[in-house]
Amino acid sequence: MPNFYNVEFDNALLLGTAQYPSPAILTDAIRHSQVQIVTASLRREAGGSGAGQNFWDMIKGLGIRVLPNTASCYSVKEAVTTAHMAREVFDTRWIKLEVIGNSDTLQPDIFGLVEAARILCEDGFEVFPYTTEDLVLADKLLQVGCEVLMPWGSPIGSGRGLNNPYGIRTLRAHFPDVPLIIDAGIGLPSQAAQAMELGCDAVLLNTAVAKSGDPVTMAKAFADAISAGRAAFLSTPIEMSDMAQPSTPVIGKAFLA
């Protein structure tokens, strides 16, 4: 079971709340997948006449946690300001920290990310940094106070899955006790299962569910795949081999004419 900042959860799937066909479909997707954490962009939910309040009321009614994020922030100042606003609106110290460095790939600005994380951690936030699989960057984020890492699988919304499984496996090996949440780029339940088989603690996704033909069924499929992937990791999979390994050994067996 994933544990983030000393809060334990039964479900390792986190869902974004953007791009769904309707609030009703979003609600059904959350319920059918039994998701316990959703993310929300303060900027999106604050826009429109009362839209933000309606969203917040819906989340409260479901009894689940909201992880506000600093989506679309391109500077430290912008991200920190948005985080402070989110803490007031959603009444939580949790913040998914995004400091974007490239508008095409939406890759994190690694320098700005560390600085913003330092400022927010010192101010009492519990930071979930959207980062890359770089070990040095991960270590610096932990040094400034982050207790969770959210490495990307591939560019946001791309559906490409894990571009660098080796990097994720290495990150897991170097930081065995740090919760890892794969964030961004997951497009299929099989890709989410792969992330969990590598030892990740959870998967955060949005587009793969919200933009699918049936978001409710897809959310449930992801929840099932993530559960299966985690069980596989805990069961210690067999090592890969270059040679065939017969399931029925020949040595010690009688040969019948």
**Would you say residue 50 has pLDDT above 70?**
no
SS (H, E, C) 89-124: HHCCCEEEECCECCCCCCCECHHHHHHHHHHHHHCC
pLDDT band at 49 (very low <50, low <70, confident <90, very high): very low
Query: CA–CA separation, 121 vs 43, rounded Å?
Result: 22
Q: Can you give the pLDDT at residue 257?
A: 59
**Would you say residue 66 has pLDDT above 80?**
yes
Beta 3-4 vs 7-8: how paired, if at all? antiparallel
DSSP code string of 197-249? HTT-SEEEESHHHHTSS-HHHHHHHHHHHHHHHHHHHHT-PPPP-SS---SS-
Query: CA–CA separation, 233 vs 212, rounded Å?
Result: 28
**Would you say residue 91 has pLDDT above 90?**
no
Q: Is-contact 121 145, C-beta < 8 A?
A: yes
Percent of the chain, pLDDT > 70? 92
Q: Can you give the pLDDT at residue 45?
A: 52
Tokens (6 digits) for 133? 């699989």
When pLDDT is averaged across residues 144-151 and rounded to a whole number, the result is: 97
253 as an active site residue: the answer is no
Q: Can you give the pLDDT at residue 238?
A: 80
Tokens (6 digits) for 190? 């099989």
Tokens (6 digits) for 100? 């974007």
- Active-site position among 77, 96, 211, 253: 96
* Range of lowest pLDDT (50-54, 130-134, 161-165): 50-54
Give residues with Cβ within 8 angstroms of 155, minimum separation 6: 105, 106, 107, 184, 185
Residue matched to tokens 């571009």:
163
Torsion-angle region of residue 235: left (phi > 0), alpha (psi -120 to 50) or beta?
Answer: alpha
Q: Can you give the pLDDT at residue 57?
A: 78
Q: Which residue has the higher pLDDT, 171 or 104?
A: 171
Length, in residues, of the chain: 257
Q: Within the chain, what is the greatest distance between any pair of CA atoms? A: 85
Query: CA–CA separation, 24 vs 62, rounded Å?
Result: 12
When pLDDT is averaged across residues 68-86 and rounded to a whole number, the result is: 93
When pLDDT is averaged across residues 204-232 and rounded to a whole number, the result is: 95
Query: CA–CA separation, 162 vs 153, rounded Å?
Result: 4
Q: Is-contact 221 213, C-beta < 8 A?
A: no
